[in-house]
């Protein structure tokens, strides 16, 4: 009887908690709706025209909704709200969002990345690396190279496969060596894997993050081009510097205990691997895709250069998927079953819906009829005029680095980067360097649960990392990014761009 009464009390407590959570969710939804449509009822003023007030409040409502409700439902609401403005209809706003190049590229590249994961290519890469004998008795060399594997895995696949596979390997390593869950060592690995996931993926100009950054740049500079080579060089140098600082922090400040490496055989964490025919085929396609994306900018005028330029990024990845799906294995089935792969969580709907809303929103924010960009540019001209280029770039790095800890980084990338580029152009600064600084700093969004999808995953992984370590490592990571970006990235960028 006593146990029965206890179960009833626990059940009642859970129902109360769920009811409070649901009530809070509904309050946040109502608040989002009120903010998003408030601009339609604002009186005329001397600051912004009526259309500008509508767009501004839709933007604020989206930021609030994305932060406290989710990414998909507020994005749909934002598209509906934009359809009520004078510049859009319901058909045009959805066409502008889903018909944008960025959305098409994300879908195609995510299908390809999921296929790499499904055929075991990413597993093989990690397991091969973990089985090497050269790391025995050299813990910090192992940690450094393990981080490089995660970086490479994110580069070859994408952010989340790298994080989940990296976390699985980290858990096994801790188990084999006798580290407890939530220990400083375990937390250090878990945190940095989450950080490296976006580093490896983001350094690809054709990744979802890279495409979002270049799309934001082209909103301010429609005909501008940031070459893939310069983009990747900037990212790799800054990211490697920030990662080196983080490793030094773990070794000399946190003073993580690595003595179990001396006697432990951490190679047991490596699963059996076999580089089979399908994985070799996937590797060839991936390398071919990378070559096809890189070489047009470095080829002399010729038919191949013309062909690759006409294909563009969408065409090249389409050809890769066509080859993978058009060639059959020995069992008669295609190497890539597009329908099967795409239906198994390959499509990241959160960023797709967010970008579908930000593409038409971005055009509305920068429209002359809205007056918002003129207002921001005027404010910046008054307060930033006379700053040296280096101080101007440092100010952007620090401001965005702090802001992204409380607002979703993808939101800030899509909405604020074009504004800063426009202001920078007016002040004679490089919009290319501004874009690179913004995209780098906004990936350091791990200092709070609201900063990014990865930070939400990280703070939610309480089984393996403490809340204190999340905050401590998150804010040091931000500091490392600021130092790397300002000390290395800005001088490098002033040479490249």
The residue whose two tokens read 């001088």 is 491
- Who's near 354: CB < 8 A, 6+ residues apart? 66, 71, 75, 410, 411, 414
Could you tell me which of 46, 85, 41 has the C-alpha nearest to residue 374? 46
pTM over 0.85: no
Nearest to 123 by CA among 81, 159, 168, 79: 168
146 contacts 270 by C-beta, under 8 angstroms:
no
Cα 284 → chain centroid: 26
| Contact (Cβ atoms closer than 8 angstroms) between residue 418 and residue 220 | yes
Closest CA to 442 of 473, 489, 397, 390: 397
Q: What is the dihedral of CA 312, 313, 319, 320, to 10 degrees?
A: 150
Is residue 126 within 8 Å of 169, Cβ to Cβ?
yes
Count the neighbouring beta carbons within 10 Å of the beta carbon of residue 32. 25
Q: What is the pLDDT of residue 17?
A: 46
**328 — phi, psi (to 5°)?**
-95, 150
CA angle 57/61/64 to nearest 5° reads 140
Distances (CA, A) of 118 to 114, 200, 336, 395, 436: 6, 19, 10, 43, 32
Name 495's Cβ contacts closer than 8 Å, sequence gap at least 6.
none
pLDDT of residue 394: 93
Please report the pLDDT score of residue 381 as a whole number: 65
Q: From CA 250, how far away is CA 467, in angstroms rounded?
A: 17
Low-confidence ranges of the chain (pLDDT < 50): 10, 13-14, 17, 269
Residue 409 token pair? 């980084």
In sequence order, what are the residues at sequence separation of 6 or more whose Cβ sits closer than 8 angstroms to the Cβ of residue 294?
Answer: 228, 229
pLDDT score of 242? 95
3-state secondary structure of 346: coil
What pLDDT does residue 287 have?
81
């Amino acid at each position: 009887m006593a146990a029965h009464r206890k179960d009833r009390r626990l059940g009642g407590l859970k129902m109360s908690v769920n009811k409070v959570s649901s009530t809070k969710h509904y309050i946040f939804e109502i608040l989002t709706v009120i903010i998003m449509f408030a601009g339609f009822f604002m009186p005329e003023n001397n600051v912004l025209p009526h259309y500008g007030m509508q767009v501004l409040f839709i933007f604020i409502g989206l930021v609030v909704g994305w932060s406290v409700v989710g990414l998909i439902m507020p994005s749909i609401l934002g598209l509906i709200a934009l359809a009520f403005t004078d510049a859009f209809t319901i058909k045009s706003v959805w066409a502008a969002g889903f018909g944008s190049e960025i959305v098409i590229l994300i879908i195609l590249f995510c299908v390809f990345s999921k296929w790499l994961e499904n055929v075991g290519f990413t597993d093989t890469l990690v397991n091969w690396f973990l089985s090497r004998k050269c790391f025995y008795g050299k813990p910090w060399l192992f940690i450094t190279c393990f981080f490089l594997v995660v970086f490479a895995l994110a580069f070859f696949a994408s952010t989340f496969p790298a994080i989940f596979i990296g976390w699985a390997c980290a858990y096994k390593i801790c188990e084999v060596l006798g580290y407890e869950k939530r220990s400083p060592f375990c937390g250090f690995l878990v945190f940095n894997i989450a950080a490296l996931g976006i580093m490896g993926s983001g350094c690809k100009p054709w990744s979802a993050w890279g495409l979002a950054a270049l799309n934001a740049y082209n909103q301010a500079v429609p005909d501008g081009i940031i070459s893939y080579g310069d983009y990747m060089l900037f990212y790799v140098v800054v990211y490697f510097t920030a990662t080196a600082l983080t490793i030094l922090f773990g070794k000399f400040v946190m003073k993580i205990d690595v003595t179990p490496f001396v006697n432990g055989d951490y190679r047991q964490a490596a699963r059996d691997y076999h580089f089979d025919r399908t994985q070799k085929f996937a590797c060839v396609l991936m390398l071919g895709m990378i070559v096809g994306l890189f070489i047009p900018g470095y080829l002399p005028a010729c038919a191949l250069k013309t062909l690759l330029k006409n294909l563009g990024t969408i065409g090249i990845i389409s050809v890769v998927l066509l080859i993978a799906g058009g060639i059959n294995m020995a069992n008669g089935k295609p190497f890539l079953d597009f329908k099967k792969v795409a239906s198994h969580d390959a499509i990241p709907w959160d960023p797709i819906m967010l970008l579908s809303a930000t593409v038409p929103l971005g055009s509305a924010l920068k429209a002359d009829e809205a007056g918002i960009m003129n207002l921001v540019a005027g404010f910046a001209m008054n307060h930033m005029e006379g700053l040296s280029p280096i101080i101007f770039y440092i100010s952007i790095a620090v401001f965005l680095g702090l802001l992204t800890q409380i607002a979703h980084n993808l939101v800030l990338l899509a909405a604020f980067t074009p504004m800063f580029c426009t202001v920078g152009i007016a002040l004679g600064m490089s919009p290319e360097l501004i874009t690179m600084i913004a995209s780098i700093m906004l990936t350091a969004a791990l200092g709070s649960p609201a900063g990014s999808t990865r930070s939400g995953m990280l703070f939610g992984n309480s089984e393996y990392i403490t809340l204190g370590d999340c905050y401590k490592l998150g804010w040091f990571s931000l500091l490392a990014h600021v130092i790397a970006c300002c000390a290395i990235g800005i001088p490098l960028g002033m040479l490249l761009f």
